[in-house]
Structure 1
């Protein structure tokens, strides 16, 4: 009988212990389930936050690209307006002078040698034109139909070309001499026409090439271009 009771106590103890293990295991499963739900909710919020940040980034990027496009369009419009204004101002004539970019130009109808051409310009409170940029070069080319004297010479020192305002070609930083594939390019100081050589420069030559410079004998008679700063108000007593 004693052994029966002992066995009963063992069975009861084992059963109780099994119930406690089951309860403990159930609690662990509940806890694990709760943490899984918490982790899942946290992950959802995290993914949602990333999505929101992605949307905000895309919106900001779209706004940035739109601003860039607007800035580009505005720059293009301003450039077009400036070019239009410059074109309009370069077509303005005042008392026989052409106004362009803070300068005024006089295109002669008479022909003189280089020295006399300069005298005429000086009598108009101006001087033979000094070309200091490609923009100015292109403008002058667009206004002539034959060769014209410009204010460039090497009368003092052969090969050392100086403008009438004492600037050198190095000072202005531009030069548009004619270049030849065969033969010597300009200035070539050709002496067949004048033994003293060619010491005065012209825009264009008698053959109709008007886009570049040529050296010529200074005694040759050509039309000429005078230039002076644009005064406000504009006056020209000599017309």
Structure 2
């Protein structure tokens, strides 16, 4: 058996025959064929590796792309939800503002109604004041007056002279006060009954330049004033301080110069006759 397998002639013959059958008596082409087959396998193996790597890369890229798209989708979803929340908040604010606006419109309507009512009341008040002034003036049409005279109230013309404060004290002691003048007829009536200057119930003792009657009404409220006007020099009231440094804070009907139909501010310390009025 050993001799059989080690027969070199047989082996060589087999090889030579194979080579001969392939048209290569020398066996060179057979060797080249084996070498090319191995190279082809290596190339195929390398190609497979590249294909696997390429497919793996494509898979990785696909995963990354999907992840990015998923992230973008989630981001868009979050933004959408935020936009919906903001829109809802704005709608709620708009509803609240609409309610407030309706409330303000209702308040405005109420204020307008109140203003209209106040204007009506103011108009009626002016009419009542005008009627009162006309009625009051009509009651001073008497032709004579001896001490107390009934003219809606009672008028007293003093015969003695006092300063303004003492004159008022006398009037108050009789349940009266210094006279207030609220109409042209009342002014004319008093002027017609005096022959010299008299104290009346107008002063600015509390605030300089703010003339107030003893019943606490201002000239703006009574609506009439009869200050003496000069063509040259300052008209009354002039608050002259030459004789009294405290100024002239009390008002008289007429002055010592003979002007009896207008008002003059004087030092409250001067002695004058006075006119009391009892309601």
| Smaller-chain TM-score bracket | 0.5 to 0.7
Q: How many residues align?
A: 143
Residue by residue over 1:120-145, the C-alpha shift from the partner in whole angstroms, topping out at 9 and shown as x without a partner, is 00000000000010000000000000
Q: Residue 227 of structure 2 aligns with which residue?
A: 177
1:131 aligns with 2:181: yes
What SS does the corresponding residue of 1:171 show, helix, strand or coil? Answer: helix
3-state SS of 1:139 partner:
helix
Q: Provide the C-alpha distance between the structure 1 equivalents of 2:241 and 2:248, rounded to a whole number of angstroms.
A: 7
Gaps of 5+ in 2: 1-137
1:92–1:98: 8 Å Cα contact kept in structure 2?
Answer: yes
The residue aligned with 2:149 is 98
1:146: which partner in 2?
Answer: 196
Alpha-carbon offset, residue 177 of structure 1: 0.2
By relative contact order (CA 8 Å, sep 6+), the higher-ranking structure is 1
Contact 1:178 1:214 in 2 (8 A): yes
Instruction: Show structure 1 runs of 5+ residues with no match.
Output: 1-82, 230-239
Partners of 1:125 and 1:188 in 2: how far apart?
32
- How far is 1:103 from its partner? 1.9
CA contact (8 A) 1:146 1:204 kept: yes
Contact 1:198 1:215 in 2 (8 A): yes
Residue of structure 1 in register with 2:134 after alignment: none
Based on CA coordinates, which of the two structures has the bigger radius of gyration? 2
What is the distance in 1 between the residues matched to 2:145 and 2:218?
30
Supply the distance in 1 between the matched residues of 2:248 and 2:161 (Cα, whole angstroms).
Answer: 18
CA–CA distance in structure 1, aligned partners of residues 149 and 163 of structure 2: 22
TM-score of the superposed pair, with normalisation by structure 2 = 0.49
Are residues 1:166 and 2:219 paired? no
Structure 1's 86 and 118: CA in aligned 2 closer, same or farther, altered over 3 A?
Answer: closer
- CA RMSD, aligned part only? 1.8
**Deviation for aligned residue 1:92:** 5.7
The answer to whether the Cα contact below 8 Å between 1:153 and 1:162 also exists between their aligned partners in 2 is yes
3-state SS in 1 of match to 2:160: coil
Of Structure 1 and Structure 2, the greater helix share is in 2
Equivalent in the alignment of 2:161: 111
Offset, 1:90:
5.2
> Which residue matches 1:211?
261
How many angstroms apart in 1 are the aligned matches of 2:174 and 2:240? 32
| Structure number with higher strand proportion | 1
Matches within 5 A, 1:2-41: none
Query: After superposition, what is the alpha-carbon deviation per residue over 1:53-98, rounded to whole angstroms, capped at 9, x for unaligned?
Result: xxxxxxxxxxxxxxxxxxxxxxxxxxxxxx7x964x45365xx302
Q: What is the TM-score when the length of structure 1 is the normalising length?
A: 0.57
- The alpha-carbon distance between structure 1 residues 198 and 98, as it changes in their structure 2 partners (threshold 3 A), is same
